[in-house]
Amino acid sequence: MPVGTKGTVKGLTPEDLREVGAGIVLGNTYHLYLRPGSDLIKEAGGLHAFMGWEGPILTDSGGYQVFSLAQTRRISEEGVEFASVYDGSPHVFTPELTTKVQEDLGSDVAMVLDECPPANASREYHEESLRRTARWAYRCKEAHERRDQALFGIVQGGLSPDLREESLGLTVEIGFDGYAVGGLSVGESREEMLEALALTVPRLPAEKPRYFMGIGDPVGILKVIALGVDMFDCVLPTRLARHGAALTRDGRINLKNARYRTDFGPLDPDCSCEACAGYSRAYLAHLVRENELLGHRLVTLHNVRFSVDLCLRARREIGAGRYEQWSRAWISRYEGSDPAGADKLE
């Protein structure tokens, strides 16, 4: 799911997103509440009408900001008091407020308010936090009134298997339309993250969507799919593009590298997006080095298309019953250990 924090996937129009095959985008409750304001968006007819996107939208509750803005917030049983990143003004995000804001935004999927502790938080803090998150989740469900909007619960618990199981039990007992695994990709190693995910995902209700919050690198995507994750999001594809990095089946390339100044081949021979079909690596490298907006847009378009295509291919391989073999070969090629491996199952 491409991330459109402030109501836009950076550099791309809704038509761009439709053309690359994106089926759903994300918006961020914290940022949209502060600017331009959820009241204004509601007056405009909701976030779909405001940003011109007809497909589904998922909105985060602001829970990630509880982690990322730790220096400017205070947590209590009532909610989270933030100092606005824009003007420093105080705002208190409660479960009831974040639910109401997401209903005003009119997203198709709303998230409960949760706390996402850092990986190195103490066990005692994780215990306190996961139980508070469960109490907040119950309040979110009680406050949720829109029947045309799904509400997802979030499992916390850090890296401790027993705490993960406790959080999962509390969250599933409340009952939600889907379930997210939170509190990972916050400082732990990739191995620790995958281990915690492997313990959690199989225990979530199989008939409900399972959402892992915050992964976007190609290898990570394939590994979490293998564990049973249905949905995931990350700013990585768009952020990489703004720094001149492109995703290809042969690994990530940095267009600021001198070797691409005279490379007149396509960005990715395996891709038919606008950037790959119409422009050379040399031209894109020139745009990136000169900080031209067109360069950012074209590389963003490619990275999002690449990520969507990877997920669509993964879906086909699951349907064909050969996902494990295919993903292993794909990862080998991407990491450079078997350049032709991913073609063996074409």
Which positions are annotated as active-site residues?
60, 233
The sign one gets for the Cα dihedral 320, 325, 328, 330 is negative
Distance CA 88, CA 192 (A): 36
8-state DSSP, 235: S
Burial class of residue 229, CB neighbours in 10 A (0-12, 13-18, 19+):
buried
8-state DSSP, 188: S
Residue 83 near residue 73, CB atoms below 8 Å: yes
Report the DSSP beta bridge partners of residue 91.
82
End-to-end CA gap in the chain: 25
Alpha carbon 6 to its chain centroid, in Å, reads 14
Q: What share of the chain is helix, strand, coil (3-state, %, to 5)?
A: 50, 15, 35
The sign one gets for the Cα dihedral 342, 218, 197, 149 is negative
Q: Smallest Cα–Cα separation from 323: which of 232, 197, 215, 224?
A: 224
Distance CA 92, CA 76 (A): 10
- SS3 at position 185: coil
Distance CA 237, CA 44 (A): 29
- SS3 at position 196: helix
